[in-house]
Amino acid sequence: MQSLQVLPGVGPKSAQRMALALLQRHREGAARLSEDLMAAVEGIRECDRCRNLTESELCGICADARRDVSVVCVVESPADIFAIEQAGGYTGQYFVLHGRLSPIDGIGPAELKLERLLARVRLDETREVIVATNATVEGEATAHYIRELVGDHVSSVSRIAQGMPVGGELEYADGGTILHALQGRRQLA
């Protein structure tokens, strides 16, 4: 029961319910879960190139010759790669920070392995860096740090747009979002 509480959102009560359910009705499933967990812990590592999670030296995206190596999208976590890939339409590559700059938590450039991003943009092939960190205070600070770090080595460092989410209604949007939407307005062609 105690071990189950490592799962996000699982406290003592749910842990007890889960433990009993596994033991009483799902012993096979529990054994399979145990094996898969061990296999994942032992077999899954960071991609040598982009720090995405993978079972090989290179992740599927870095190994895919059809992806455009000249564009690198910087994200906070592998979950963000899932989200962008599901949205479709992005054909470049990625770099995963596994976090964001947060001096209070002792997370600086070294913890995010930004020297590896720098090494990568120094290669001639990299033309654009798109910073897709979250639209939070720490995500913005991280974006500006990356701008300073790589700006001299690529022809473009851009930030994903802030504004109204699809389906969003002005009446229910916060002030900051409305300001970004007005400032970032684009010509209607």
Footprint on this chain of a second copy (rule: CB under 8 A): 73, 75-77, 79-80, 82-84, 86-90, 130-132, 134-136, 143-144, 147, 151, 156-188
**Cβ 139 to a second copy shortest distance, Å:** 8
**Cβ burial, residue 163 (10 Å; 0-12/13-18/19+):** middle
In the bound state with a second copy, the residue whose beta carbon lies nearer, of 13 and 185, is 185
**Cβ 67 to a second copy shortest distance, Å:** 15
Element (H, E) at 69: strand 68-75
Give the span between the Cα atoms of 111 and 101, in whole angstroms.
9
Triad 60, 155, 117: Cα angle to 5°: 45
In the bound state with a second copy, the residue whose beta carbon lies nearer, of 4 and 160, is 160
**Cβ 21 to a second copy shortest distance, Å:** 28
**Cβ 187 to a second copy shortest distance, Å:** 6
Three-state DSSP at 16 gives: helix
Give the span between the Cα atoms of 14 and 77, in whole angstroms.
27
In the bound state with a second copy, the residue whose beta carbon lies nearer, of 62 and 84, is 84
In the bound state with a second copy, the residue whose beta carbon lies nearer, of 34 and 136, is 136
